[in-house]
Amino acid sequence: MPRKTHSYLLLLAPIVVLLVILPVLPHFYVFLFCTAYIFGMFALSLDFLMGYGGMPNFGQAVFFGLGAYVVTMAQIWWHVPPILSVIFPYAFVIPLSFALARVSVRGGGIYFALITIIWGDITYRTFFYEWTLGGSDGLRGATTFPLREYYIIILIATVVCYVLIRKIADSQFGMVLRAIRENETRMRFVGCKVENYRMSAFVISSCFATFAGSLYPGLYGGARPELLHWALSTLAVTMVIVGGLGSLVGALIGGFIITFLIEWSTSYLPMGGGYTIAGLILVATLLFMPKGIYPTIKRIWRS
Partner 1 sequence: MLDIVLVGIMYGLTLSSIALGLSLIFGVMKILNIAHGEFYMMGAFALLITMELTGLNFWLALIPAAIIVGLLAIIFEAGLHPFYGKEPLYGLILTLGYSFFLRDAAYSFSRTTMLLPVGAGFYSIPTPLPGGFNFYGMVLPYYRFAILAIICMLYAGLWFLVKKTKYGMHIRAATQNAELLSSDGVNVKQVNRLTFCIGAALAAVAGALMGPVTTVYSDMGHEMILLAFIAVIVGGLGNIRGCLIASVVLSEIYVFLSLYLEPYWSETILGLISMVVLLITARRR
Letters for 47-86 (x = contact with partner 1 by CB under 8 A, - = none) are ---------x------------------------------
Cβ atoms of residues 294 and 253 within 8 Å = yes
In the complex, what is the shortest distance from the CB of residue 117 to partner 1, in angstroms, rounded to a whole number?
A: 6
Number of residues that bind partner 1 (CB under 8 A): 41
Nearer to partner 1, 84 or 114 (CB): 114
Residues 1, 13, 16, 271: which binds partner 1 (CB under 8 A)?
271
Q: Which of residues 272-301 bind partner 1 (CB under 8 A)?
A: 272-276, 278-283, 286-287, 290
Q: Tell me the sheet residues that pair with 223.
A: 139
Q: Which is nearer to partner 1, 154 or 239 (CB)?
A: 239
Residue of 22, 16, 51, 95 whose CA lies nearest to 237: 51
By the rule CB under 8 A, 263 interacts with partner 1: no
Q: What are the angstrom distances between the C-alpha of 249 and each of 44, 260, 299?
A: 8, 17, 14
In whole angstroms, the minimum distance from the beta carbon of 175 to partner 1 comes to 20
Binding residue for partner 1 (CB under 8 A) from 234, 243, 244, 252? Answer: 234
Does 238 help bind partner 1 (rule: CB under 8 A)? Answer: yes
Tell me the torsion sign for CA atoms 292, 295, 301, 303: negative
* CA-based torsion, 18, 22, 26, 29: positive or negative: positive
Site for partner 1 in 213-232 (CB under 8 A): 230
Among 32, 241, 252, 253, binds partner 1 (CB under 8 A): 241
Please state, in angstroms and as integers, the Cα–Cα distance from residue 151 to each residue in 15, 22, 251, following that order: 12, 8, 20
| Neighbour-count burial of 208, counting CB atoms closer than 10 A to its CB (0-12 exposed, 13-18 middle, 19+ buried) | buried
CB of 219 to partner 1, least distance (A): 25
DSSP H helices, the chain, are 2-20, 27-47, 61-76, 89-107, 109-129, 147-170, 172-182, 184-190, 194-214, 216-220, 230-243, 248-268, 274-288, 293-302
Tell me the per-residue interface mask from 91 to 120 with partner 1, x by CB under 8 A, - otherwise. ------------x--xxxxxx-xxx-xxx-
* Residue 19 C-beta: closest distance to partner 1, Å: 34
Does 186 participate in binding partner 1 (rule CB under 8 A)? Answer: no
| Residues near partner 1 (CB under 8 A) | 56, 103, 106-111, 113-115, 117-119, 121-122, 125-126, 128-129, 230, 234, 237-238, 241, 270-276, 278-283, 286-287, 290
